[in-house]
Structure 1
Amino acid sequence: MSWLRALKETARSGLKIERRRLEPLVAVRGAAGLALVIGVSLALFGPVVAASSAFGAFQAAIATFQRSWRPRPVLALVSGISLGLSTFLGYVTGTHLALFMLLLVVWTFLAGLAWAAGPTGGIIAASNVAIMLVTITLPTSAAQAALHGAMIMFGGVVQAALIVLFPIRRWGAQRDALADALAAEADYARRLRHDPVAHFDPEPLMVARRAAAVTAREARRRPAELHGSRGVAERIRPVLASLADPAMGVPAEGPQRDRVRELLAAAGSLLDAAARAIRKGDPVRLPAPAVAALRTPDTGALLAGPPLRAADRLAALLSDVIEAAEGDGTKEERAGAREAAEAIEDGTPLRDHHPRPGLLRLVPVIVRSMRREVHHGSPILRHAVRIAVVAAVGYLVGRLLPLGHGYWVPMAAVMVMRPEFSQTYSRAVARFGGTLVGVFLASAIVQAAHPGTGPLAVLAVICALLMYLLMRTGYAVSQACVGAYVVFLLGMAGDDLSQTVFERVLLTLAGGLLAMISYAVYPAWETPRLRTRLGDWLKADGRYAAAVVEQYGDPAARGHHDVRAALLATREARVAWQEAVATARHEPVRHRGLSHGASDATQHALAQFGRVAMLLEAHLPPGGATPVPGAARLAEALRRATDRGAKAVRERRVPDWTPVREALERWEAECAARDEAVTGVPAPAPLVRNSAGLLLEALEDFSRGLTS
């Protein structure tokens, strides 16, 4: 993609406005906390301290809107405390330029590295640095700086207290994540009716897994319907695929296929019912036709072997979903849901507790994540270096320009910079456009009405309310609200509004340009790393398939947790690859060895490879089952070949799958040399051998795709 086209697309993306579901009650709660903080600060300390405390409460509320599974009060407290501390340290060092520049560089560099802990941490850290550049200009002494810092922290405490006292849709994000996962499974079941080899995007299951991670204290307070359903949904996916796939024994057409379609439709209806119940916290209302379809007794007469086992397993898992989703309804409602579940299949709901470290225990985890990114080639490290240099240069440029309010340059740059090219450029355009609109509208109101301190505070709260309400519709919209908010707030503190309008627009443009230039000079392109991401996915897929096949070779020696760990690793690798491809498509960089055609072909081959492994996982033998001869050797061949293949992909070579082919041929020869009916070779042996052939075929398609 050329630079001109990339700039056009990022600009269009930054100015895009979307229709999203609004959360008015949450927005009102955040604005009420802001109004309370401003009112108390005005009454006790005056408009200047009120402006500082308002920034703290404003940022604390924004932190609670970030996509995080941490409790919202914790996010508000962390934001308020860190911003208050930053303000005090910034003011104390502000009189010594060299010392302040050192603090700014170190603080901003750490904020950039905070992206290693996730987007929420990175956004909060960067926002705190940006707002610090404004708040340190308000105090007049060290004692005043301490007071301002304390009131900023007070703003965070107030927002956290309001969340605790007035909870709105408690556990709502976790409910949505789990419901989305179940709904994705339902959609998958329906698609399998028409396309028996349809692919499934595991991202909803990954999001649900992250949402299910709770501390020990949260686990005791979690609603009952959020226990267990995610684990069942994880197990349903391979069962659905195994039931639908013709390779497992069900013909493409005929009475058996009709029965499978009926079971898949019933599964989709029941999963949708469970998703609706969990999302809203209501009792499960089961569709009678779906329950009747699963209870039809002719399944055993029509299906046999792996399809029959998959159908029985599906009924048991759906029963678990229904029982887990029944939640905290009335006694009669719970009894009705339980009776319906038992009508499908007797089963016990799964209760899982995915642990999440507490706030104090999270600190060493974050430190380790940041240390892992300190290496050459890390995009997070490049972002940290880039944002630290831009903040320092922007601050010096702002001081040298004869405009005043020079802190707007580094503030604008820090706010828009992200580790990715497209997000940095689109946000820079959106911030300038939104700031232009917001500042001029606010200035027009001030010039026309000449409001006093009280009306300016009210106008600031209204702008914050609009920002909280509309922030998910587009970055340009939120920045228009922020621009007006800052104009009203600084006007309340006695700032020169006529200067603020001209300077903030001009200096915001300068900050955005600095951010864009920095990425062009010191980029972190994803395109050259596509082969590395592809190799990681191939390696993870190979280890997953090897873990599954190895389970057949020695069921008693290993537990299913090995397969589970390998599955999670391949999901992470697949999502990392997909995100990298999506990012690379917007970069003004050539493919450098991996064309779009090769990217699509290899992705399809690896998806098929993982799907075959998943089908094998659906029929894993119990611990006491008879080992399948030759499976262990095949698993080792798969593991070694995919490890070497991943290295070949990174080194721009085509992988060679001869070891896997030889291992499979040797196994076939051994099986042909004996009479399986006499020697008692276990029933899963043909299933494993057939699937191994499909695995090899997918690997060969992968190699052919690399050269396309």
Structure 2
Amino acid sequence: MSWLRALRETARSGVTVERKRLEPLAAARGAAGLAIVIAFSLWAFGPAAAASSAFGAFQAAIATFQRSWRPRPELAVVSGATLAVSTFLGYLTVSRPALFLALLALWTFVAGLSWAVGPTIGLIATSNVAIMLVTVTLPTSVAQAAGHGVMMIVGGLVQAALVVLFPIRRWGAHRDALADALAAEADYARRLRQDPVARFDPVPLMQARDAAAVTSWQARTRPAELHGARGLAERIRPVLAALADPAVGVPAEGPARDRVRELLAAAGAILDAAAHAIRHGTPATVPPPATATFRTPDTSTLLKGPALRAATRLGSLLDDVVEATETPVPRPRPRLRLRLRTRPRPRVQPRCGQAFRTAERVGTTPSAGHLDVQGGGSPTGKVKVRPGLLQLAPGAARAIRQEIRPGSPVLRHAIRVASVAAAGYLLGTALPFGHGYWAPMAAVMVMRPDFSQTYSRAVARFGGTLLGVGLATAIGQAFHPGTYLSATLAVLSAALMYLVMRTGQLAAQGCIAAYVVFLLAMGGEEWTQTVPERVLLTLIGGLLAMLSYAVYPAWETPRLRARLADWLAATGRYAATVVGHYAEPAGKNAPDVRTALLASRAARTAWHEAVDRARIEPVRHRGLAPAAAEAAAEAVGHIGRAVMLIEAHLPEPGDPPVPAAAAFADALRTATAKGAKAVRERRVPEWGAVRDALSAWERVGVRDQVVRQGAEMVVDALGQLSDALAAADGGQDVGRPAVGSPSGS
């Protein structure tokens, strides 16, 4: 993509208003906390201390809006405390320009590295540095600087207290994540009726899993309906795919296919009802026709073999989903856990899976729903406890250390933002406008580790600052509001920013600019700096940010092969783990399969995020053209989908082992690891060992049709991957056996 087109695309994303759900109550709560802090500080300490405490409360409220499953009060406290430390240290050195410049560069460098921990921590650290540039100008003595720091901490504590005392939709984000996962599977079931190999995006399931990890305090108060449904959702997806796919199920047309379509439609209706119930905290109201579809007696006559097993399994899982929303079962004490796991749960009335469950049983192993209700959120029945912020510190430090290496995009971002902050401060100080912190503040606020966010935010920052500073300065110079009126206008600007911060950067940045202007006026700053001066300094900061990315970029495009190799290796480990269980049957509850699947999903997500970023970068493909990348991703997706079909029919512990499956699994694991290395080195992978292992298995005899078809799909998809990479390198078609493969992943 050319630079002109890339700039146009990123600018459009920066000024586009996203239609997301507004949170007026949360915005009002944040504004109320800000008003309380400002009013108390004005009454007790005066305008300057009020401005400092207001910055702390303002930033703390922003921290509570960041998407995080951890208790948001902790984020508010951490934000206020870190801003206080930054301000105090900054004031101690601000009178010595060289020392302050060194501290600014160091502080900004650390804030840039904090993106390795996650976007929430990165945003908080970056905002603290930007606000620190303003707050260091407010105190007039060391004692005042310490007092201002204390008031910033108080501002964070006030916002945290309001979050605790006035929770808004408590567990709402967790409910939404789980409901979105079930709704996504409902949509998937309906799409499978028309396209038996339709794609499924696992992102909703990944978000639901992330939300299921709770702190020890949250585990004691979590609603019962959030305990088990997520594990069930994970198990439903492969069963839906196995039921619909004609390669391992029923023919593409005929009475059996019509029955499968009816079951899929009913499953969609039941999953939608469960999603609605979890989202609103009410019992599920299942449509009677959907339940009646699973009670139809002739299902066991129309469906045979793997299709009947999948239908039976689906009915059982849907039963458990509905029960998870209807019956708030309290979590038992640890000493009762083993007894409750082995005892079958009584059912009040027959539901989806009861009518034909006896025709061909999948097994008696408790489902993930039973385990989740007892154990708290993981398919293995163990409570998945999320550590607190202090417990996360060693992991955060380890993540930062891992990014201090050549070629790391986070390290490049840290160097870039530190250099720009120092250059912006020097330039802003040298210009005869006064208040030169507007330039480095604008630069730090817009810079992100990737190109698209930096450029889109730069456009939104400049446009929003132009509107916000222009309007606020015009009001100030026209009416010269006093301390209390300026404070009121600052609170109103903050309230509007809290309301629109999720709908577009342009409006949010305008509100932030107006807030800073009104707050500085409340602190005693004269209305001497004009609109053109502030806008010019902001423009300088934005231009420095954009220029830094052009001079010292961290493009995602050259790393696409590495991302593809990671995805291939993770998918190969997942495939080998699943196939290996046919040599050592362990039933549906296989923790190693679950771990391998999660690693494959994470690698898939990293690949797609990299492709999205690379799509709008103004650089050449450097070895992996867009068409080749799409074809290669399609092939790896085929591997994952084929393995998912095999996973839906894992053998039970009592089934006879298949020794030949172990050899095929080992060949898969070794070949995909070597293939990933070949992809990184721009070579075409070879899959002869995998084909030989499959041929040896077929000579022994593959008893299960699902396993045979799935293994052939895997081998065919590996051949497709080599074809795509050979075409990307200008080589010849490596050839592959003519075996059909699914078109979805």
TM-score, reference length from structure 2: 0.90
**Structure 2 unaligned runs (5+)?**
330-345, 358-366, 378-382, 728-745
Amino acid paired to 1:92: L
Report if the CA contact (8 A) 1:431-1:475 is conserved.
Answer: yes
1:437 aligns with 2:467: yes
2:49 counterpart residue number: 49
Q: Give the secondary-structure state (helix, strand or coil) at the position aligned to 2:502.
A: helix
1:678 counterpart residue number: none
Report if the CA contact (8 A) 2:294-2:352 is conserved.
Answer: no
1:691 counterpart residue number: 710
1:20 Cα deviation from its structure 2 partner: 2.3
Report if the CA contact (8 A) 1:487-1:500 is conserved.
Answer: no
1:310 aligns with 2:329: no
1:556 Cα deviation from its structure 2 partner: 5.1
1:101 Cα deviation from its structure 2 partner: 2.2
Q: Give the secondary-structure state (helix, strand or coil) at the position aligned to 2:529.
A: helix
- Please, which moves more after superposition, 621-630 or 430-439? 621-630
348, 364, 387: which one aligns with 2:394: 364
Report if the CA contact (8 A) 1:598-1:707 is conserved.
Answer: no
CA distance in 1, matches of 2:350, 2:553: 55
Instruction: State the Cα deviation string for residues 658-686 of structure 1 (Å, max 9, x = none).
Output: 11111112222333xxxxxxxxx8x43x4
Report if the CA contact (8 A) 1:601-1:705 is conserved.
Answer: yes
1:416 aligns with 2:446: yes
Alignment map for 1:636-651 (pairs within 5 Å): 636-651=666-681
Report if the CA contact (8 A) 2:587-2:651 is conserved.
Answer: no
1:567 counterpart residue number: 597
| Cα separation, partners in 2 of 1:17 and 1:249, compared to 1, 3 Å | closer
Instruction: State the Cα deviation string for residues 221-276 of structure 1 (Å, max 9, x = none).
Output: 11111111111100000000000011113011111111111111111001111111
1:210 Cα deviation from its structure 2 partner: 0.8
CA distance in 1, matches of 2:49, 2:711: 70
Amino acid paired to 1:491: A
Report if the CA contact (8 A) 1:291-1:344 is conserved.
Answer: no
CA distance in 2, matches of 1:385, 1:488: 33
| Cα separation, partners in 2 of 1:76 and 1:604, compared to 1, 3 Å | same
1:558 Cα deviation from its structure 2 partner: 12
What is the percent sequence identity of the aligned residues? 67
1:17 Cα deviation from its structure 2 partner: 1.8
Alignment map for 1:16-27 (pairs within 5 Å): 16-27=16-27
1:704 counterpart residue number: 723
Instruction: State the Cα deviation string for residues 167-189 of structure 1 (Å, max 9, x = none).
Output: 11001111111111110000000
1:401 counterpart residue number: 431
CA distance in 1, matches of 2:351, 2:263: 17
612, 618, 629: which one aligns with 1:582: 612
Alignment map for 1:164-183 (pairs within 5 Å): 164-183=164-183
Amino acid paired to 1:382: R
Report if the CA contact (8 A) 2:248-2:709 is conserved.
Answer: no
1:129 counterpart residue number: 129
1:485 aligns with 2:515: yes
| Cα separation, partners in 2 of 1:275 and 1:500, compared to 1, 3 Å | farther
1:18 Cα deviation from its structure 2 partner: 2.5
- Please, which moves more after superposition, 484-493 or 36-45? 484-493
Report if the CA contact (8 A) 2:315-2:352 is conserved.
Answer: no
Q: Give the secondary-structure state (helix, strand or coil) at the position aligned to 1:575.
A: helix
Q: Give the secondary-structure state (helix, strand or coil) at the position aligned to 2:659.
A: coil
Amino acid paired to 2:601: R
Report if the CA contact (8 A) 2:189-2:265 is conserved.
Answer: yes
CA distance in 2, matches of 1:9, 1:695: 38
CA distance in 1, matches of 2:540, 2:460: 14
Report if the CA contact (8 A) 2:588-2:651 is conserved.
Answer: no
The count of aligned residue pairs is 691
Instruction: State the Cα deviation string for residues 467-493 of structure 1 (Å, max 9, x = none).
Output: 001111100110111111111111111
Report if the CA contact (8 A) 1:552-1:628 is conserved.
Answer: yes
2:494 counterpart residue number: 464
Amino acid paired to 2:388: G
- Please, which moves more after superposition, 181-190 or 246-255? 246-255
Report if the CA contact (8 A) 1:405-1:503 is conserved.
Answer: no
1:423 Cα deviation from its structure 2 partner: 0.5
1:635 aligns with 2:665: yes
Report if the CA contact (8 A) 1:323-1:341 is conserved.
Answer: no
1:649 Cα deviation from its structure 2 partner: 0.8
Report if the CA contact (8 A) 2:577-2:665 is conserved.
Answer: yes
User: If each structure's helix is expressed as a fraction of its own residues, which one has the higher value?
Assistant: 1
1:677 counterpart residue number: none
1:547 counterpart residue number: 577
CA distance in 1, matches of 2:456, 2:726: 34
Amino acid paired to 1:624: G
1:69 counterpart residue number: 69
1:607 counterpart residue number: 637
Alignment map for 1:81-480 (pairs within 5 Å): 81-326=81-326, 339=348, 342=351, 344-345=353-354, 349=370, 350-351=372-373, 352=377, 353-480=383-510
1:202 Cα deviation from its structure 2 partner: 0.5
1:370 Cα deviation from its structure 2 partner: 0.7
Amino acid paired to 2:284: V
Report if the CA contact (8 A) 1:199-1:607 is conserved.
Answer: no
- Please, which moves more after superposition, 528-537 or 491-500? 491-500
Report if the CA contact (8 A) 2:587-2:652 is conserved.
Answer: no
TM-score, reference length from structure 1: 0.95
556, 576, 584: which one aligns with 1:526: 556
Amino acid paired to 1:323: E
CA distance in 2, matches of 1:339, 1:196: 34
- Please, which moves more after superposition, 283-292 or 123-132? 283-292
Q: Give the secondary-structure state (helix, strand or coil) at the position aligned to 1:214.
A: coil
CA distance in 2, matches of 1:470, 1:498: 30
1:355 Cα deviation from its structure 2 partner: 1.9
